[in-house]
Amino acid sequence: MRPQWLILPGLLLFLFFNIWPIIYSIYISFTNANIKNFPPPPPWAPEELKQARPPPDFVGFANYASILTGPASSGFLGAVFWTLIFVALSVPAKVALGTFVGLLMSSDRVVGKPIMRALLIVPWALPLIISVVAWRYVFDPTYGVVNQLLYAVGISKPPDWFVNKDYAYAAMVVIEAWLAYPFIMTVVMGALANVPRAAYEAAYIDGAGRWAVFTRITLPLIKRPLIYASVMTAAASLQFFLVAFLWNFIQLYDRFMLAYGYYWAFGSPFREYGLAAAVLTMSALLISVFMILAIRLAGLMRGMYES
């Protein structure tokens, strides 16, 4: 038996559970599928049911025209815009926080580093729903720590972080930075482990300060791993959905691409599955284009420390 036959069962399962749903969702995006006609009755269903519930019609690019230039364009383009703003705000925040903590945990002056490292990866290890519930208590309008601090500094009417759309969006940026910084921290610590100590010793002998050492030695040597981590976490931010869904989906569905697609599938009155599939297909295409451009521009296909 050829060894290629051994991977055939796994390959078939991969195609069925991964590739086929993608192909089918793309097909649905070219139809007028909604709650009235989808899913269609099975072939063995009575003829009366088939006539009462006809299958979806093929509508070509009508759904894509609707989300790009038609009635749904303002919502979709707005969701794309706010998703990009979210990436622009959250990625620098989590990269800066993760890099700072990674540098701190790589210092020889930190006492109890194994325990500290274990505590710092808690956001990465906790189930997401537990993290969101904990942050809901932190931002609770009445009893949360954030609003209590705002009360203490003299703000008599702190914001409602669940009802107000803008403040809920700001809370998403904070939560995303907290959830993702352990990944950046781990990458930075791994990169710093490969930086030769002799470079630091020579810099300190020459009288270089800490900022000069960071900008001229540390940062250039960990630049490529840090760029890789930044691209990966930016792609994750483009797919941001579950935290917004658990927080307050009604307020945030039009601020994120995937949430907007979910709204058309399960939140709209007639559950426009075809339109939702078009939104999610366009979102996947935009994320793919971003990844290709980012990888090419950052040169991530080259060696890790190749200049």
Domain spans of the chain, in order of start: 26-298
Give yes or no for residue 21 having a pLDDT over 50: yes
Placement of tokens 């325990």 in the chain: 115
CB 181 within 8 A of CB 96: no
> 304: pLDDT confidence band, cut at 50, 70 and 90?
very low
CB 230 within 8 A of CB 96: no
Packing angle between helix 73-105 and helix 165-192, nearest 10 degrees?
A: 40
Please list the alpha-helical segments (H only) found in the chain. 8-14, 20-28, 47-52, 62-68, 73-105, 113-120, 122-125, 128-138, 145-152, 165-192, 197-205, 210-213, 219-238, 242-252, 257-262, 273-298
**Of 32, 33, 183, which is closest to residue 97 (Cα–Cα)?**
183
For the ranges 122-126, 134-138, 140-144, 290-294, the one whose mean pLDDT is highest? 134-138
The CATH architecture assigned to 26-298 reads: Orthogonal Bundle (1.10)
Give yes or no for residue 261 having a pLDDT over 70: yes
Measured CA to CA in angstroms, residue 306 lies from 59, 95, 224 at distances of 50, 22, 9
The mean of the pLDDT values for the chain is 87
pLDDT score of 303? 54
Residue 3 carries which DSSP code?
G
CB 81 within 8 A of CB 289: no
Give yes or no for residue 4 having a pLDDT over 80: no
Give yes or no for residue 58 having a pLDDT over 50: yes
Number of neighbouring beta carbons within 10 Å of residue 229: 26
- d(C-alpha 41, C-alpha 76), whole Å: 31
**Of 132, 61, 79, which is closest to residue 238 (Cα–Cα)?**
79
Distance from the Cα of residue 259 to its chain's centroid: 12
Summarised one tens digit per residue, pLDDT across range 127-165 is 889 999 999 999 998 889 999 999 888 887 888 999 899
Summarised one tens digit per residue, pLDDT across range 207-255 is 777 788 888 888 888 888 899 899 999 999 999 999 999 998 888 999 9
- d(C-alpha 303, C-alpha 121), whole Å: 28
- Strand, helix or coil at 58? strand
Give yes or no for residue 307 having a pLDDT over 50: no
Number of neighbouring beta carbons within 10 Å of residue 56: 19
Give yes or no for residue 305 having a pLDDT over 60: no
Q: Exposed/middle/buried for 76, CB within 10 Å: 0-12, 13-18, 19+?
A: buried
Give yes or no for residue 260 having a pLDDT over 80: yes
Give yes or no for residue 183 having a pLDDT over 80: yes
pLDDT score of 1? 61
More confident residue, 145 or 305: 145
Measured CA to CA in angstroms, residue 254 lies from 146, 210, 263 at distances of 25, 44, 8
Residue 274: half-sphere exposure toward Cβ, Cα within 13 Å: 24
Which two structure tokens, joined as six digits, stand for 178? Answer: 């907290």
